[in-house]
Amino acid sequence: MHRGRAGDVAYSLGTSGGVLTTALDPVHDPTGLVNGVADAAGGYLPLACTLNCTKVTDLMSRLLGVDVVGLTRLALDASPRADRPVLAAYLDGERTPDLPDATGLLADLTGDTTREDLALAAFEGVLLGMRRGHLAIQAAGAPADGTALVLGGGARSEAYRQILADLLEKPVVVRDAPEATARGACLQAAAVLHAADITAVRDAWRPTDVLVTEPRRSRNDVWQRFPTGANSTTRHPPPRRHRSRACPPHSDSKDWPCASTSTPPTATPSGHSWRPACSAGSPPTH
C-alpha cells in the first residue's frame, strides 16, 4: 500500500507499470485513463496502469545479447542527441491508453543508430508512457506533484531511476520497502491484529529513504516526439494474423487514414514519417 503525503507520486516498475498518487478527495476521469481507487486509510489513490514496463527492457536485453546490467550500462552511455530513436513500447497491446491490439514501434532509426541508442530507447519508451499516465492523473484533478518515489523490481536499475528523474526534472526516491505491496497487506493485518488505527500503524511503519537520484539533463526533446508517434501508429493497428478483415470505407480519410490507401504519412516534429494503420470496426478517437 503506497501511502505518503497528499500529492506524493509513485512509479511502480514491474512487468507492468503503475503510476499512482495520494489524494484526499476522489478524482473522476472521463477519458478512462485514470482509475479511481480508495485506500485503507480513508484517502484515495488515483492511478494509471500500463501493460508494458520491465518486459520491454527484458526484451531489448535479449535482442542485444546482454543482461539487464549490461543494458543499463549501454543506455547510460548513449549519446542523448535530439534525433535519437524513440519507442512506442506497446509490445502486446496497451491498457493506458486502451489499445488492446496495439503493437510497438521503434522510430527515427538511421545508419548512425547504435546499440546504446536502442538500449536508451527501451528505457525511455517505458517511462514516457508512464509519464503520460502521470499527466493524466494531474489533468483529472490530483496534484501528483510531491515527492517522486520509484519502487518495484525496475527501481534497482540505475537507468530507470536516472531517466525518470530527468523526465520529471526532480529527484526520485527509493525507500526501504522492496516488497511494497506485501508491506501494505502486512500493515493492514497488523492494524486488525492490534486493534490499532491504521493511519497510526502506517506512520509508524513509514520506510526510510535509502537512495535519491538527482536529475542530470532535460529529456523534453524525446518527450515532444513521443506523443505524436505513439498516437498515430498505434491507435488503429493492422489486424492480427488470425483475423481477416478489410478496412471499412472512410467518410473522411484524412481523419481515419488506412495503410492500404494513398493517404500521405503524418510527419513528426523530427521530420520523419509515421503512417497510421486502421483496424476495421472502430472509428478514430480524438
Q: Return left, alpha or beta for 152; rule: phi > 0 is left, psi -120 to 50 is alpha, else beta.
A: left
Cα torsion angle, 155, 159, 163, 166, sign:
positive
Residue type at 10 in one-letter notation? A
**CB of 110 within 8 A of CB of 86?**
no
Give the single-character DSSP code of 244.
-
Q: Is 88 helix (H, G, I), strand (E, B) or coil?
A: strand
Is 240 inside a domain boundary? Answer: no
> Any idea what the CATH number is for the domain that residue 135 is in?
3.30.420.40
**CB of 258 within 8 A of CB of 278?**
yes
Q: Are residues 186 and 50 in the same domain?
A: yes
Q: Are residues 116 and 218 in the same domain?
A: yes
Q: What is the pLDDT of residues 218-266, one digit of tens each?
A: 999 999 888 665 665 544 445 554 443 344 433 333 333 333 333 344 4
**CB of 167 within 8 A of CB of 128?**
yes
Q: Are residues 46 and 173 in the same domain?
A: yes
Q: Are residues 111 and 10 in the same domain?
A: yes
Q: What is the pLDDT of residues 10-65, one digit of tens each?
A: 999 999 999 999 999 999 999 999 998 888 888 999 999 999 999 999 999 999 99
Q: Are residues 277 and 201 in the same domain?
A: no
Q: Are residues 147 and 259 in the same domain?
A: no
Instruction: Give the DSSP letter string of 32-48.
Output: S-SB--B-TTS-B--EE
Q: What is the pLDDT of residues 103-160, one digit of tens each?
A: 999 999 999 999 999 999 999 999 999 999 999 999 999 999 999 999 999 999 999 9
Q: Are residues 228 and 268 in the same domain?
A: no
Q: Distance from CA of residue 11 to its chain's centroid?
A: 9
For residue 24, the surrounding DSSP H or E stretch is: none
Has this prediction a pTM greater than 0.85? no
Q: Are residues 219 and 176 in the same domain?
A: yes
